Amino acid sequence: MSTKIFIIEDNPEFRDYLRRGLTYEGYLVRVAPDAETGFSIQNEFHPDVLILDLMLPGMDGIEACKQFRENNYDLPILMLTARNSIGDRVTGLDAGADDYLGKPFDFEELLARIRALLRRTGPGKNVLTFSNLTIDLSTRGTYRNGKSILLTNTEYEMLVFFLSHPQEVILREVLLNRIWGFDLSNSGNVLDVYVGRIRRKLGEPALIHTVFSVGYILKELDK
């Protein structure tokens, strides 16, 4: 699967230049002209790297960076700006950016920065994230909006499976065999009981939804 890069840049010519160049390098690229559009795209695209311009219309890159970091603390963020002072760099890094690249820059340097961010965080990263829900695989810690959630071993394994397949319909029999290793005909309502427990622990708004007579899906409802 191609590495996914999300670009938020208001200059259409520069945005298209980045999109074409990174697509040519083999990355799967999505773009947005502003932070507000970016938030909605990020929730369904789940990028591996975010390239964020500092000077954006409406919400600027600093505030956008803070919100992206609150929603997904594991997302590598590279901030771009024509304002390349030490103060701007410090402000961007303090807001949650992982790296900072001043314009103009050589495209090869951008590629090197992206590769460095990917080496720090993946592909063997130990964190699964969807929306405001995060699981740290190294500690088994589960968090929503930064608040810890206590799960049993079975609940934890089920939730890891959901986060490993976001926005995909998971068949009941697939989930049963994955977690317990037995056939659907022998399950009774054990699956529904466990899913119900997980939903209650995660709270509202719901993220795990029933696909009737089929299975379940981890997704955010359309706002």
Q: Kindly report, residue by residue over 174-211, the tens digit of the pLDDT.
A: 888 777 765 545 556 788 889 999 999 999 999 999 99
pLDDT of residue 107 exceeding 70, the answer is yes
CATH match for 127-218 among 3.20.20.140, 3.30.70.270, 1.10.10.10, 3.40.50.2300: 1.10.10.10
Query: What is the reported pTM?
Result: 0.56
Q: Are strands 215-218 and 169-171 parallel, antiparallel or unpaired?
A: antiparallel
The CATH 3.40.50.2300 portion of the chain extends over 4-121
pLDDT, mean of residues 56-60: 91
pLDDT of 223 over the 50 cut: no
Contacts of 144 (CB under 8 A, 6+ apart): 132, 133, 134, 202, 203
The residue-averaged pLDDT of 54-69 equals 89
Cα dihedral 98, 103, 119, 127, rounded to 10, equals 40
Q: Which tens digits make up the pLDDT trace of 110-161?
A: 998 898 888 766 555 578 888 889 998 878 889 998 889 999 888 998 999 8
Task: Residues 4-121: name the CATH superfamily.
Answer: Response regulator (3.40.50.2300)
More confidently predicted of 154 and 32: 32
